[in-house]
Amino acid sequence: MNQFTSFNSNSATGNVDINGTIEYLTQWDFNYLTNDLELKRREEFGTYKKLSEDPLKIKYTINEGVVWSDGTPIDAGDLMLAWAVQSGHFDDAKTNDAGDVVSGTNYFSYAGSTSGLGLTDVPEIGDDGRSITMTYSKPYADWEIAFGVGLPAHVVAKGAGLKNEQALTDLLLSAPEGDPENPKKRPKLKKVANFWNTGFDTTTFPSNKGLTLSSGPYMVESMVPDRSMTLVRNPEYDWGPEPKIDEIVIRYIPESPSQVQALQNGEVDIIAPQASGDIKASLEQLSGFKMLTGQMLSFDHIDLKYGGVFKDVDVRKAFMNTIPRNQIVQSTIAQVIPDAKPRDSHVFDMGTPGYKASVKVNGSENWQEVDIQKAKELLNGRTPKVKIMYNADNPNRVDAYTLIAESAEKAGFNVVDGGLPGNKWGAALTAGGWDATIFGWISDGVGVTGVPQLYGCGSASNFTGFCDEKAQQAMDELIVTTDPQKQQELKITVDKRLFETGYGLPLFQSPGIIAYNDKLKGIEFMGNQTGVWWNFWEWEVAK
């Protein structure tokens, strides 16, 4: 597991696995997914109710007595801040073809898609001060998973220099909607957004304990930089299931062999190492431990920036022709899954209904083998300098980089190693300074909003600057489409455009391994981003 970097896992820079794990342990919400990808409501925390179908109107209410770990009630102010972040309501930025802002401002750097809640106007706050009601201008396919509470509004208000939470709520209620044709400077809102974007980033235990506030069963008690984090029970928490374990210590051990050794030595009780043949074999030799395996809803890929050295589509496609996907698969996941093959879709997970249908038509057949001669023809004598960024603590990414660099240089590319430590590469995705990047996406396994989140024009999680009119039209229609067959057709359209415009290439879909001390009970495999933590409140240590 990588090192912790932020208490805001929903920001573009904080959106990495360990930060999301801490959020899941400490921040409660209106629902969660089981390992069967079944949506379960947390009605002990709060409720949401569809008030009408046309127009779609949803009311969210926090239950009385639900508070942050400092005793402050969770209320409509927190919901309003979450809506402001997740809707993009105040954004008025215009971008160029490379995705760079040329006028106006994108306020909150939200890692999710704003396309869904962007269909809503300013919510109405209920008289009880614990509810908000949103009205959508169009139907929205993912309305039930669209909204989460997020960060404490009273902490963000203070961090932005406002008097209190009410002042923040008043600001959000009164500020005009963003208009890219007539952008306005809104310094107070910008301070709020700036604090939300970066104010929760830290690798050490912060002096401002407001950054660590919890609304769930656990709260962060201490941190050892680049080594570990300790979580204990939240004394204010008395809603929802009570966890059976008093304290959880999370160790940051990026190297999989070191994780296995730590498990064997009793330094940790559970690990989720990167799957490889060697790791699986090592775990099978241990006694007193159990192992679970399964298919993850995640895939590794290499993405190319639509600007700089890769502004020319021929240069992008030349580089794609050098990527040895089969060789990468053989050196990584084939050690766990002997018949593993490269993944041939950017949008569909292997094994899902739309995958085979998309692969037949998305153009992935053009990228099955390395073609150095074709790459040279497309380059036409050019020798582009390409910096590839990746997590240098991840052995699969190191292998992929090494094989890609070796192959690309045969075609005339001058490849620069942009590998970064595990606690730095996530922030580098948004900071720039790279031409191509190797990393992984993992989906929650439900809904369609993840597509515009990754590939929508101007999305904070769209790091390449990809912005295609045909793909965007399909994504705009996708989020308001409830028919599953039509959703599949629209997703295939996006998939095709990603291949046709030279976005980069998917590499492989990841297998998963969990190993744990057999004294632990309640551990179950989960393939989405929640991973093994999905039912942590059911864990217990046998006596």
CA distance 291 to 280: 9
User: Which H or E element spans position 490?
Assistant: helix 484-500
pLDDT digits over 51-88, tens only?
999 999 999 999 999 999 999 999 999 999 999 999 99
Burial of 66 (0-12, 13-18, 19+ CB in 10 A): buried
pLDDT digits (tens, 9 = 90+) for 477-501: 999 998 999 999 999 999 999 999 9
Q: How confident is the model at residue 337 (pLDDT cuts 50, 70, 90)?
A: confident
Between the CA of residue 394 and those of 22, 253, 335, 398, what are the distances in Å? 20, 11, 16, 6
Residue 496 contacts residue 361 (beta carbons within 8 Å): yes
Note the pLDDT tens digit of each residue in 105-156. 999 999 988 989 999 999 999 988 999 999 999 999 999 999 999 999 999 9
Strands 46-53 and 101-103: unpaired
Mean pLDDT across the chain: 94
Determine the Cα–Cα distance for residues 193 and 428; give it in Å rounded to an integer: 20
How do residues 7-16 score in pLDDT, each as one tens digit? Answer: 999 998 899 8
Spatial distance between the Cα atoms of 185 and 289, rounded to a whole number of angstroms: 58
Rounded Cα distance between 272 and 291, Å, is 10
Report residue 94's pLDDT band, with 50, 70 and 90 as the boundaries.
Answer: confident
CA distances for 127 relative to 44, 76, 124, angstroms = 21, 10, 9
Distance CA 413, CA 234 (A): 54
Q: Is the dihedral of CA 133, 134, 140, 144 positive or negative?
A: negative
Q: For residue range 243-274, list pLDDT tens digits in order.
A: 999 999 999 998 889 999 999 999 999 999 98
DSSP codes, 244-283? S-SEEEEE---SHHHHHHHHHTTS-SEE-PBP-HHHHHHH
Sorting pLDDT into bands at 50, 70 and 90, what band is 285?
A: very high
pLDDT of 413:
98
Please name the helix (run of DSSP H) or strand (run of DSSP E) that holds residue 295, with its range, or none.
strand 289-304
Distances, alpha carbon 386 to alpha carbons 77, 312, 321, 417, 492, in Å: 46, 13, 15, 9, 30
The predicted-structure confidence for 447-470, as pLDDT tens digits, reads as follows: 999 999 999 998 888 999 999 999
In the chain, % of residues over pLDDT 90: 85
Model pTM score: 0.85
Strands 436-442 and 247-251: unpaired
State the pLDDT at residue 539: 97
Strand pairing partners for 57? 52, 135
Task: Evaluate if residue 98 carries a pLDDT over 70.
Answer: no
